[in-house]
Amino acid sequence: MKGDMCTELMELDEDKVKLLLNMAAEEGIAIVKPPRTGLLMMTVQDSFDADFYLGEILVTEAEVESRGKTGYAMVMGDEPERALLAASIEAIMRGDNEDLKKQIRGFVSEQMEKIDSIREKESALIAMTKVSFESMSKG
């Protein structure tokens, strides 16, 4: 699955995750490996482009199968439903049900537009509270 869609799935609220899981269930999803948590060493690059081990992060992974196509996902945090959803969507996207693919893409796109709109409004409200200290009179 594209990284963008996986990132978008992590931003959906719980109700939308459950709705997408129900859509995916219609495709006959079989759980190969149920969601399980684990720790993963997170590596980042420092300012000198050298690897730096930030520490361990909690992840949840899952693997599913749908119509002969497998899907695997690993998400940050203790998120069993999101891991199942991401794995299910990967399996569906590898399959040949173009109608379901289109429905999922449309649904996720619509939800992201709503989330982006909310973020823009929040950013505008936050921007109104910024103070320009240079323009304040000296007293």
Whole-angstrom Cα distance, residue 103 to residue 78?
27
Q: What is the pLDDT of residue 91?
A: 94
**Cβ(71)–Cβ(3) below 8 Å:** no
Q: What is the pLDDT of residue 2?
A: 54
Residues 6+ away with beta carbon under 8 Å from 37: 58, 59, 60, 78
Q: What is the pLDDT of residue 58?
A: 96
pLDDT higher than threshold 70 for residue 126 = yes
pLDDT higher than threshold 70 for residue 137 = no
* Phi and psi based region of residue 45 (left: phi greater than 0; alpha: psi -120 to 50; beta: remaining): beta
Q: Tokens in use for 123?
A: 């950013």
Residues 6+ away with beta carbon under 8 Å from 34: 62, 80
pTM for the model stands at 0.76
Confidence of residue 13 (pLDDT cuts 50, 70, 90): confident
Edge to edge, the sheet with strand 51-66 lists 30-45, 51-66, 69-76
Give the tens place of pLDDT for each residue, 44-94. 998 898 998 889 999 999 999 999 999 999 999 999 999 999 999 999 999
